[in-house]
Amino acid sequence: MKDQFVQECIQTIETSFFQTPTFQALTIGIPFCTFKILFGILGMRIGADQQSHLILLGSLIILWASLDLVMNLIVIAFNMTGRKSPIEFCTVAQLGRFFGKPKLFLAVDTMIAFIIICFVLWTGWIKLLNINESYLWYAATTLNLLSISIVNIWLEFRR
């Protein structure tokens, strides 16, 4: 009886927390939007210094990331009210819906976010963030990495 109760509690935590769209949006989607927005800001900043097309590219990236952020917030709002969201987490996954492969396109968006993170780190652009932007980067990194670690620990604990 007690074991069944414990198993039901564990199952409830896993299905009602770790796998919810809200958890995914808060720990993956919004941090990735933060990285993209900061990348766009850096592109604009560097583009202004070099008088290059990076200003336009940075602006487009900020627009894209802002749209993704709004989409994540909509997904959260629907999930919090117990309804399935009519949209995906991001524009790339939404495009994937037209091809019947939203999860594949979401994985591509994830890869793009990781490429952005690596690019900012390896080019040294990370040093160009001001103090407030740096704290946003740190917060997004911390939230994303700790959530992955917590889920992994939980899954290993369950084995």
The pTM for the full model equals 0.87
The per-residue pLDDT for 17 is 77
Q: Please check whether residue 25 is in contact with residue 93, taking contact to mean a CB–CB distance below 8 angstroms.
A: no
Question: Which range has highest mean pLDDT (8-17, 44-53, 74-83)?
Answer: 74-83
Going by pLDDT thresholds of 50, 70 and 90, the confidence category of residue 155 is confident
CA distances from 29 to 47, 48, 68, 78 (A): 27, 29, 8, 15
Domain chopping of the chain, boundaries? 22-158
The per-residue pLDDT for 49 is 80
Q: Please check whether residue 84 is in contact with residue 78, taking contact to mean a CB–CB distance below 8 angstroms.
A: yes
**E-state strands within 2-144:** none
pLDDT tens digits along 71-126: 999 999 999 999 999 999 999 999 999 999 999 999 999 999 999 999 999 999 99
pLDDT tens digits along 18-35: 788 999 999 999 999 999
Closest CA to 158 of 3, 2, 7, 5: 7
Decide which of 69 and 149 is more confident: 69
| d(C-alpha 102, C-alpha 111), whole Å | 14
Closest CA to 54 of 119, 2, 8: 119
